[in-house]
Amino acid sequence: MQFTPVHHIPGRMRLKALKAFGPKTSSFLKEGLSDIAGIERVEANGRIGSLTIYYSVQDSLEAASAYLAAAEEQRESRVPAQKPLESSGKPSLFPFIRYFLIRPLLPMPVRVASAAAGAIPFIRRGAASLAHARLDVEALDGTAVAISLLRRDFGTAGLLTLLLNFGDQLERYTQKRSVENLASHLAVRADKAWVSRGGEEMLIPLRDLTEEDLVIVRSGNAIPVDGVVAEGTATVNESSMTGEPLGVMRSEGASVYAGTVVEEGEIRIRPTGIGKNSRIQQLIDYIEASELMNAGIRSRFERMADKAVPFTFGLAALVLLLTGNTTRAASVLLVDYSCALRLATPLAILSGMNEGIKRSVLVKGGLFLEKLSQADTVVFDKTGTLTQSQPSVAEIVPVPGTGLDEDEILRLAACLEEHFPHPVAKMLVKSAEDRGLRHAEEHTEVEYVVAHGVASRWRGRHVVLGSRHFVSQDEGVDISPMEPEVERLSAEGYSLLYLGIDGKLAGIVAMVDPLRPESAALIRRLAKLGISHVMMLTGDDERTARAVAGKLGITEYRSQVLPEDKAETVRGLKEEGRTVLMLGDGINDSPALSSADIGVTLRDGADLAREVADVVLMGRDLEGLATAIELGRGSMRRIMLDYKATMILNSLFLAGGLFGILTPGLSAVLHNVTTLGVCLNAMRPVLGRER
């Protein structure tokens, strides 16, 4: 089977197959790849032909490639094909009409032939399972149908095949519809677009759109592509992308995204992302690939259900041996636990993810819903998550004797930072501009160290600007002469930047980044949810960190934390046996997000953070974090309820068949009704309308 790498970051590679593959192929690949030294975990989604390999040793990827190159030949000899999900149409009720109204009017030979023809596929699949020594659900169904035919009970055989076929159709249809419904909340509902070509306006199919076209979008219409506004001005509602209900002004040079809507005005857009390259389609791809992240609880229930099949066979054989009554034996065989569990569990997961989309919480798979329900520790990065990521200069303190005043320090800081896109750099540049300070480039090439600072040459002198750790420990600048000022500014909760020239401290820039108004309330809400451990990580010094943590009600924090320290902290908490949720939004948070059991980022987080995160909060505030945890817990409660109902009811039906109270046909009917009931329960909203 041909696989092509589609995404690769250190520790994880995702590959795509040329075509879909079945669940047994998935198991085959997962088992084989997991045996390779250095590969930590393998996840496969046959319906979309996706394979994700988590590894700790780079060389293991070569062994994985060699294994995949030989996998097709082995698969052909071991694994049967799977029915494609796309073939699942809406279940029809006509077979029931034919069975109950038309069948009784047909001659007996026709009824017998019809029952036998319908039974053959089930008997064939059951025989194949038994031939491979598999006591699974197909073996169970095939045996029950065969017994009915051998007893010449053609009416029961016909009813059984009718119900089994209907159950298969219902399973495929509900699963397909659930995935489609989830994706439909994001999809762009447009197949044509107005464009300007050669000075003329024309309506063309979206598939014919090129990046040379100008797309015209007027009031009330959805934007069909990602792009940049080339002409015009409009108010755009971006709630489908950001969760923000208020329209925002977009004019020439601004970026716009597919799926958003022009509320007022008219714009012409130069496309940058068409179809599958658009950001909204990337979100839909997350949804379509979500089954890749199957919840562990689903796998556990499926294994438990499979283990019950040999028990059912044994019980039916015992009944036949003791009573000689084939009717009772067939009734026992027609009750299995797996149908409801295999269908209801993924439906509950999809329902929870669907509700998350409605509540502006994107959960990328069932595995993460389960982890959300288990989270007992939440780790926050401070800047940009607990704060508004809109820093401003609060105070500038020159060091006496350097000959630099406040304006000179700010001018030099802006000069050093003007080439960098991060919020602090933008803030320094804007502050200099607000003061009317010209900061023409007077330095040579700048060296930028992520989350630390910058270093350069200015008028022949070595200049550094950054955190205390960078300036003091890495660059050897003595900060002690200004310690009283550092103490004062830190106690007020300011974040500090240190400017050093030729190894000596020249000045301090105190910045204030306002806390998000909902941050403190979220910490209290997490406590009510039973989150036992909340920690804040920050690059600020101890005093600033203590002041901020005190305002938020956070009792545990780590100061002067480097990016690699964040990931190490998360790993340490996991080694203590905690289930860790990490919330961060920057590039330097990505290692920690990957290390956590659940990585969570914000809608406006860095691209890398959104890629590695398991949950993306698409709303306007942090309250979505608590919503995500509630969704996870609610989904797992729903699954456990369905599990208990399935086990209790099917056990009662099993007892009914065992003691001759239920006929095979009635056992099959009750079993399918139970399956339908738990599936409908699984698809109900997880959270109430009001929280």
**Domain final position from 58, 82, 106:** 82
H helix count then E strand count, the chain: 23, 24
Residue indicated by tokens 């002004």:
249
Statement: residue 338 has pLDDT above 70: no
User: Which pLDDT value is given to residue 279?
Assistant: 52
Over 70: is that where the pLDDT of 619 sits? Answer: yes
pLDDT, average across residues 506-529:
91
Q: What is the pLDDT of residue 290?
A: 43
Residue 641 lies inside a defined structural domain of this protein: no
pLDDT confidence bin for 301, thresholds 50/70/90: low
Tokens of 647: 């086990």
Q: Same domain for 383 and 523?
A: yes
Report the chain's mean pLDDT, rounded to a whole number: 78
Pair 587, 570 in one domain:
yes
On the question of pLDDT at 421 being above 90, the answer is no
Over residues 568-587, the mean pLDDT reads 90
Is there a contact between 674 and 649 (Cβ–Cβ < 8 Å)?
Answer: yes
Looking at the fold, whether 198 and 271 belong to one and the same domain comes out as: yes
Both 73 and 212 in one domain: the answer is no
For residues 375 and 429, membership in a common domain is answered with: no
More confident residue, 86 or 615: 615
Q: Which pLDDT score is estimated for 185?
A: 47
Whether residues 437 and 524 share a domain: the answer is no
Within-domain flag for 584: yes
Task: Determine, yes or no, domain membership for 166.
Answer: no
Q: Which residue has the tokens 């996706």?
A: 50
**490 and 538 assigned to the same domain:** no
Residue 563 lies in a domain: yes
Number of domains, the chain: 4
Catalytic residue among 141, 306, 381, 540: 381
What average pLDDT does the segment 104-119 reach? 88
Size (the chain), residues:
691
- Is the CB of residue 587 less than 8 Å from the CB of residue 566? no
**Which CATH number does the domain housing residue 8 bear?**
3.30.70.100
CATH of the domain at 548: 3.40.50.1000
pTM of the model: 0.60
Phi/psi at 421 (5° precision): -90, -5
**505 plus 398 within the same structural domain:** yes
Give the CATH number, domain containing residue 404: 3.40.1110.10
Q: Do 545 and 621 fall within a single domain?
A: yes
For residues 530 and 602, state if they share a domain: yes
Last residue of a domain, one of 45, 62, 82: 82
Tell me whether residue 130 is in a domain.
Answer: no
In the predicted model, is pLDDT for residue 292 greater than 50? no
Instruction: Give the confidence band of 332 by pLDDT, cuts at 50, 70, 90.
Output: confident
- Residue 381 and residue 520 in one domain: yes
Confidence bin at 523 (pLDDT 50/70/90):
very high
Question: For the ranges 18-27, 527-536, 547-556, 566-575, which has the lowest average pLDDT?
Answer: 18-27
DSSP string, 172-241: HHHHHHHHHHHHHTT----SEEEEEETTEEEEEEGGG--TTSEEEEETT-B--SEEEEEEEEEEEE-HHH
Residues 521 and 493 in one domain: no
Residue 306: predicted pLDDT: 66
**Percentage of the chain lying above the pLDDT 90 cut:** 15
Q: Which helix (H) or strand (E) holds 621?
A: none
> Span 451-458, mean pLDDT?
75
92 found inside a domain: no
State phi, psi for 255 to the nearest 5 degrees: -85, 145
Average pLDDT over residues 336-356: 75
Lowest mean pLDDT among 162-166, 313-317, 588-592, 636-640: 162-166
Domain boundary among 277, 309, 341: 277
Q: Is residue 287 part of a domain?
A: no
Q: For residue 381, indicate whether it is catalytic.
A: yes
Is residue 257 one of the residues assigned to a domain? Answer: yes
Query: Helix (H, G, I), strand (E, B), or coil: what is residue 599?
Result: strand
Range with the poorest average pLDDT among 26-40, 96-110, 267-281, 619-633: 267-281
How many whole angstroms separate alpha carbon 535 and alpha carbon 548? 12
pLDDT value at residue 84: 35
- Give residue 494's domain range: 392-512
